[in-house]
Amino acid sequence: MKKLAVIAFGGNALLRAGERGTIEQQKVNVFKTCESLLELLKQDYHLVIGHGNGPQVGNIILQVDAGEKMYGIPEMPMDICGAYSQGFIGYLIEQQFKNVLNKYNIDKNILTLVTQVVVDKEDKAFQHPTKPIGLYYTDEQKDSIQQKNPSYTFALDPKGNGWRRVVASPKPLYVNNQDAVKDLVSKGYIVVSVGGGGIPVYKTDKGELKGIDAVIDKDLASSLLAVNIKADEFYILTDVPKVCINFRKSNEKSLDTITVAEAKQYLAEGHFTEGSMAPKIRAGIYFIENGGKKCIITEAESLGKPNSGTHIIA
């Protein structure tokens, strides 16, 4: 039987450091990332793809703000901006993955599902925003934006790139249409789902779905989907070949295989920062603790190669 793998694309799958983020740049990056997935296709895997949207949804919000200020165009809430980003990123992945498949004479279809993900409106995350979105700012730029938008919260990037706006990142509870994802995969489709962690929605007392200003962590949402569709393996693509402890210190050490218990210990010891590796480790732990066989955190170029990535196991 074919194995089922869920792959969470990191931000660098679309946008690399130092790039302006043009569509042409993102097309090239997506093509390269999708080409790396051929190793899994050659090993006869079914594939489901999740992806981030931090820079993209941040840019959309900036464009919306500019349109409202300059032309009076009605402002769009964050959930709608998230839906925008899901649509165009899904389009890029569909298009470029199909170009990859055509290049290698592989007959397979890719389908994107614009995905709502249910959260709890009372989640404590709304009191403590942590999820970075949008551009990096200098001290002066951050102060200027915050004067105009006092409700905004900013945090310093752990890699020293400057300040970024942070928003609430509530826990995903349920992925809408997850049964459809499983059905499509069983029929041979490559499915793109939970883009940007999914569009965050909550249920009212009447059972109606309503959008809410937040960004769900794409790794945790992908992990939840992977558990619920009973994926065998969960891959988290990032910009480093392996997870490290004592990162950027003289005693830095890369990790090959760690157990859930070891991963929890490293988290407790503060080896992984929020907005960077910590959410990825938590997503891997969640997958393994809920029936998954193996989580691999690595860069796209290392996919399918021997001894690649950091493996989290039971």
**Sign of the CA dihedral 259, 264, 266, 267?**
positive
d(CA 18, CA 14): 12
Catalytic residue among 218, 284, 292, 309: 218
Burial label for 43, CB within 10 Å (0-12, 13-18, 19+), is exposed
Please, which residues bridge with residue 175 across strands? 117
Please say if 2 is a catalytic residue: no
The residue written with tokens 């999708």 in the block is 34
Catalytic residue among 11, 90, 198, 304: 11
Please say if 280 is a catalytic residue: yes
CB burial of 190-221 (b: ≥16 within 10 Å; e: otherwise) equals bbbbbbbbbbbbbeeeeeeeebbebbbbbbbb
Catalytic residue among 142, 182, 242, 280: 280
Catalytic residue among 29, 53, 58, 131: 131
Catalytic residue among 12, 53, 59, 176: 12
Sheet holding 163-167, edge to edge: 131-137, 163-167, 153-156
Please say if 27 is a catalytic residue: no
Question: Tokens standing for 111?
Answer: 């389908």
Please say if 218 is a catalytic residue: yes
Please say if 11 is a catalytic residue: yes
d(CA 116, CA 193): 9
Please, which residues bridge with residue 295 across strands? 234, 312
Selection from 245, 284, 280 nearest residue 261 by Cα: 284
Rg (CA), the chain: 19
Catalytic residues, which ones? 11-12, 131, 218, 280
